[in-house]
Amino acid sequence: MTKKTNNYKDSGVNVQEGQDFINDIKDELNDLQNNFAIGSIGGFSGYIDPPKNYKDPVYALACDGVGTKLRIASSLENYKSIGIDLVAMCVNDLIVSGAKPIAFLDYYGVSKLDRQIGRQVISGILKGCQLSGCDLIGGETAEMPNHYTNGNFDLVGFAMGINERNKIIDGSGVKDGDCILAIPSSGFHSNGFSLLNKILEGYQADKIDLLQELLTPTRIYVSEILALNKNFTINSMAHITGGGLEENLTRAVPHPLSVVIQRDAWEMPKLFKKIQKLGNISSNEMLKVFNCGVGFCLIADKDVSDQIIAESEEIIQIGNIQKNMNERFLIK
């Protein structure tokens, strides 16, 4: 009796499809102008030629994902913007310390590779790279039918940035009396979607419209922050992601200083209010989970803050830094 031979394709992994997908990505990249990348993707590693105008360069690295916002994209069968989310989550973390994004890589794990979906995802990643001024230099597409099931997939990004060693912003310059400035978010960005998905189970009324609004891509703050950092002395910054204002602002402020937020300084956007009502979520819980309309924060001296606000149409003050408080984070 002849034993049946096994092959990789029978296990659910199509190597040729993966190679064709790499060629798809190369086709997309051919239309773009590289800033720092050397050569093309598809090799065992990617190289960059960093900018030469740095005297003592140091490099920052960040890794993040889109999380369960992917479920929203899957339910709408619209994957065009989640690549932007992926890049945004990584580069927005980089710029917190003053780093300029220069390179990006992605991990795309699927149960079965669908090149049409994949091209949408990659198109969004490339758009995100364009918006943040960095290059896609490589990545990994993993087809794992026994690991990812029912069409589920995962998306993870890795970003690299450059900074001058003596210009790293680490929060050590924050002091009593500093102002906390806020830049608006574009929506829920890419955090809190496990709770959002739970709230929307069984909801039907205007669900498609609501899902489309929730799919709004994460705002990329690179150009604004790099410009502000060039023109003003900023003592600390925070990308408002999972954990909301409390968790992210306290990370940006050293002990024993406290973060004091004036809740009436801004109005929570209508979309957040709608979700709060649908989910019967307390105001404190909203602030602990979601960005509530504040996507990025700056901490600066009072006089610097006044100048920034005067020159911006959207930046506002939402609080200040105080010392010797009993709690690290207070809302008034």
192-216 per-position pLDDT tens digit = 999 999 999 877 767 889 999 999 9
- Let me know if domain 9-167 sits in CATH 3.40.50.2300: no
55 pLDDT more than 80: yes
Over range 112-127, report the average pLDDT: 91
d(CA 268, CA 98): 28
Which CATH topology does 179-331 take? Phosphoribosyl-aminoimidazole Synthetase; Chain A, domain 2 (3.90.650)
d(CA 219, CA 186): 6
| Band of pLDDT at residue 2, cut at 50, 70 and 90 | low
Which pairs from 201-204 meet CB under 8 Å and 24+ separation? 203/278
Q: What three-state secondary structure class fits 60?
A: strand
17 pLDDT more than 70: no
Whole-prediction pTM value?
0.92
DSSP summary character for residue 127: H
Q: Per-domain residue ranges for the chain? A: 9-167, 179-331
Q: pLDDT tens digit string along 260-306?
A: 999 999 999 999 999 999 999 999 999 999 999 999 999 999 999 99
Strand partners, 258: 322
pLDDT at 73: 95
25 pLDDT more than 90: no
Tell which wins on pLDDT, 29 or 141: 141
pLDDT at 107: 95
11 pLDDT more than 60: no
Q: pLDDT tens digit string along 143-177?
A: 888 788 777 889 999 999 999 999 999 999 999 99
Q: What is the mean pLDDT of the chain?
A: 90
3-state helix, strand, coil in the chain (%, to 5): 40, 25, 40
pLDDT at 41: 77
Q: What three-state secondary structure class fits 126?
A: helix
d(CA 283, CA 273): 10
Tell me if 9-167 shares its fold with 179-331: no
Which pairs from 244-251 meet CB under 8 Å and 24+ separation? 244/286, 244/287, 244/288, 244/289, 244/290, 244/291, 244/292, 245/287, 245/291, 245/292, 245/294, 245/297, 245/329, 246/287, 246/288, 246/329, 247/288, 248/297, 249/180, 249/297, 249/329, 250/328, 250/329
